[in-house]
Amino acid sequence: GGIIGNLDYAFLRGIEPTDLYGGADGTIPVLLFVVYQMMFAIITPALITGAFANRITFKAYLIFLVAWQLLVYFPFVHMIWGGGMLSEWGALDFAGGIVVHALAGMAALASVLYVGKRNVQDSGAHNVPFVALGAALLWFGWFGFNAGSELAVDEITAVAFINTQIAAAFAAITWLLLAWNYDGKPSFVEMLIGMIAGLATITPAAGFVSPQSAMIIGVAAGGVCYFAVVLRKKYELDDALDVWGVHGVGGALGIVMLGVLASTKVNANGADGLISGSTDFFVAQVSALVLACIWAFAFTYGMLWGIDNLTPVRVTEETERNLDESLHGESAYTE
């Protein structure tokens, strides 16, 4: 169908170890493709978790994970990557600008609005060396995330790889300079946040634009996402990991900029953007993005309301003071 797929391969039914993705012309085993897609499927709701961390009950969280996958993630994976409705519109998303980042970002915004602020004051980064380690692992892993989405080793893989590096670097420096000007000091953590914004923004465009365009996307990511976070702080929305400002706004920006900067000279299987004289592709990108944002926000807010009527979503104030011990009977640290 145009919105959802089918159950032909449910529980890996009918898939043999020797089967190749893409049929006889395929180059990777279907089972390898399955594992790769499993990574996308779990990282997307995991991003949302960062927005409402330390506020919801574990039971509600488990229900939310399953419901969100079924009602939000799976339909858009099919609509864009499975030959569904958005694919028929002509929309493109190389590695998850809509499928991962825009959906997660809008879901994060809906979650924060529904669940509300933490009662415990946010004291900033808990451990800066660990933040640096995590950011380094993210940057390294993102090469597999983006370049791997070509599902082959060819010139497009190389383009996606270098574009990922370029956008992350340009966004990191742009964000650092803006934060330095705003706060008066150059912050290492702020630079790392900018790097992640660049990675999120280049994700939909990685294999469809030139390295020069990736530089533009990186600078735009650092600027636009930085001010999105400033706006979030102004309105006191408690998005613990800035999922909306970094991933949501970044993914959305990447989709729009792909509609502007895409070139079939880079990828013959892609499209030409506004700078190449194509308005149809730009319209398809914006239309797909608008649908994704509305869908993710509405379904997420509605799901949380529905779950709240089954089991409490928000933990009590007393439980929140010592969440690990209260919910799981364990602590991250021992004496």
**56-95 per-position pLDDT tens digit:** 999 999 999 999 999 999 999 999 999 999 999 999 999 9
Q: Which domains does the chain have, with CATH numbers?
A: 25-314 (1.10.3430.10)
**Model confidence at 321, in pLDDT bands (50, 70, 90)?**
confident
Q: pLDDT at position 335, please? A: 63
Residue range 117-140: mean pLDDT, rounded: 88
How far, in Å, CA of 159 to CA of 71, rounded? 33
**Model confidence at 320, in pLDDT bands (50, 70, 90)?**
confident
pLDDT above 90: residue 324: no
Q: pLDDT at position 89, please? A: 97
Contacts of 204 (CB under 8 A, 6+ apart): 92, 93, 94, 95, 96, 97, 98, 101, 251, 254, 255, 258
**What are the contacts of 229-235 at 24+ separation with CB within 8 A?**
229/193, 230/182
**270-290 per-position pLDDT tens digit:** 999 999 999 999 999 999 999
**Model confidence at 254, in pLDDT bands (50, 70, 90)?**
very high
Q: pLDDT at position 123, please? A: 67
State if pTM tops 0.85.
yes
How far, in Å, CA of 2 to CA of 91, rounded? 13
**Shortest CA distance to 314 belongs to which of 121, 51, 66, 52?**
52
**Shortest CA distance to 244 belongs to which of 297, 203, 204, 284?**
297
Among all chains, which residue has been given the structure tokens 């900018």? 194
Residue range 187-197: mean pLDDT, rounded: 97
